[in-house]
């Protein structure tokens, strides 16, 4: 029987609103609830696909978890997974490092939150090949050294999955948080590395499958495009199949409109309306938030 799981990271649940959303009440309400609604989409996906587990690769929270509303919401969603028999595996990243979380939820036994020491958790499943999930949380927000060498060795004869929050060496615009190379990850001979931290999706399918899922919901125009999670199936022959599944409620996009040759106001309105309609049809999310830029002469 195949092992199936959803892999996500960087939920930043209930993160503070950015300046634009604060100036617009309607937009503020939409974006303010977007991370929650995206997380509900993730849980819905786990239930509809009847997966074995949900893997959260860091930054579930945006910082110290002190909000009772956030805690209540997360407890409700975890309860849905627990009742369906879906295991949850969580590591802490730089935003929700162990040193930052002063109030931790009391989770059911189906939830594993990794600590500051590496652990390898073996799952008892009704299948011939055992599954082992390796994890290690950030103890502090700053982690300038690689953590890969601290992970426990692969378990022979098992499917080995690693959970790691990392900036990955060579990623532009990111400070070094547990930096490592793809070759470092491949050297572990794990079957799948479930990464987090970079908010842009990327995959590597060399000696092992390495996935940075991006984030499930953008928060401003700098986190543009549809956001998603990975639905992963590891077959009995240990082949790995990864599907991208969209989860974002609101999708941010930059739209540039060339006004060269526009003769009058009416033509401009028609051009803008047509461009926005095309952007709306191409969007993969329920809502589209656009920043318009105009070029050319009229």
**What does the DSSP assignment read for the chain?**
--EEEEEE----BTPPPPHHHHH-HHHHHHHHHHHHHHHHHHHHHHHHTT-SEEEEES-SBSS----HHHHHHHHHHHHHHHHTT-EEEEE--STT-TTT-SS-----TTEEE--SS-EEEEE--SSSS-EEEEE---SSS---S--GGGSPPPPTTSEEEEEEE---TT-TT---SS---HHHHHHTT-SEEEEES-SS-EEEESSSEEEE---SS--SGGG-S--EEEEEEE-TT--EEEEEEE--SEEEEEEEEE-TT--SHHHHHHHHHHHHHHHHHH--SSEEEEEEEEES--
The pLDDT value given to residue 102:
58
d(CA 179, CA 193): 14
Q: How many CB atoms lie within 10 A of CB 73?
A: 17
The pLDDT value given to residue 22:
56
At residue 77, what are phi and psi to the nearest 5 degrees?
Answer: -70, -40
The pLDDT value given to residue 18:
64
The pLDDT value given to residue 98:
80
* pTM strictly above 0.85: yes
How far is C-alpha 186 from the chain's CA centre? Answer: 21
The pLDDT value given to residue 101:
65
Domain ranges of the chain: 3-248, 251-295
Q: Which CATH architecture has domain 3-248?
A: 4-Layer Sandwich (3.60)
The pLDDT value given to residue 24:
77
The pLDDT value given to residue 29:
82
The pLDDT value given to residue 66:
63
Q: How many CB atoms lie within 10 A of CB 5?
A: 25
pLDDT values of the chain reduced to their tens digit, one per residue, 298 residues? 789 999 999 999 988 766 565 577 887 888 888 999 999 999 999 999 999 999 999 999 887 766 788 889 999 999 999 999 999 999 998 888 887 765 677 899 999 999 999 999 999 887 778 999 999 998 888 888 889 999 999 999 999 999 999 998 756 656 678 889 999 999 999 999 999 999 999 999 989 999 999 999 998 899 999 999 999 999 988 999 999 999 999 999 999 998 888 888 898 899 999 999 999 999 999 999 899 999 987 6
């Amino acid at each position: 029987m195949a092992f199936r799981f959803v892999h996500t990271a960087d939920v930043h649940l209930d993160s503070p609103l950015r300046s634009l959303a604060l100036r617009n009440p309607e937009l503020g309400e939409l974006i303010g609830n977007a991370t929650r609604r995206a997380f509900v989409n993730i849980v819905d996906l786990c239930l509809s696909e009847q997966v074995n587990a949900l893997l959260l690769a860091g930054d579930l929270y945006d910082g110290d978890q002190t909000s009772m509303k956030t805690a209540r919401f997360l407890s409700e969603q975890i309860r849905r997974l627990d009742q369906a028999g879906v295991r949850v595996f969580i590591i802490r990243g730089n935003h929700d490092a162990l040193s930052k979380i002063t109030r931790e939820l009391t989770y059911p036994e189906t939830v594993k939150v990794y600590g500051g020491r590496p652990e390898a958790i073996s799952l008892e499943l009704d299948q011939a090949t055992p599954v082992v999930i390796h994890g290690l949380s950030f103890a502090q927000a700053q982690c300038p050294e690689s953590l890969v060498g601290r992970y426990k060795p692969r378990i022979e004869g098992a499917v080995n999955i690693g959970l790691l929050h990392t900036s990955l060496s060579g990623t532009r615009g990111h400070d070094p948080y547990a930096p490592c190379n793809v070759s470092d990850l491949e050297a572990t001979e794990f079957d799948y590395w479930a990464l987090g931290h970079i908010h842009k999706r990327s995959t590597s399918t060399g000696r092992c499958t390495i996935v940075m899922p991006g984030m499930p919901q953008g928060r401003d125009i700098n986190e543009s495009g549809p956001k998603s999670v990975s639905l992963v199936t590891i077959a009995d022959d240990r082949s790995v199949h990864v599907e991208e599944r969209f989860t974002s409620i609101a999708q941010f996009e930059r739209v540039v409109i060339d006004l060269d040759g526009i003769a009058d106001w009416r033509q401009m309105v028609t051009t803008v309306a047509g461009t926005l309609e095309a952007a709306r049809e191409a969007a993969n999310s329920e809502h589209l938030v656009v920043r318009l830029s105009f070029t050319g002469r009229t």
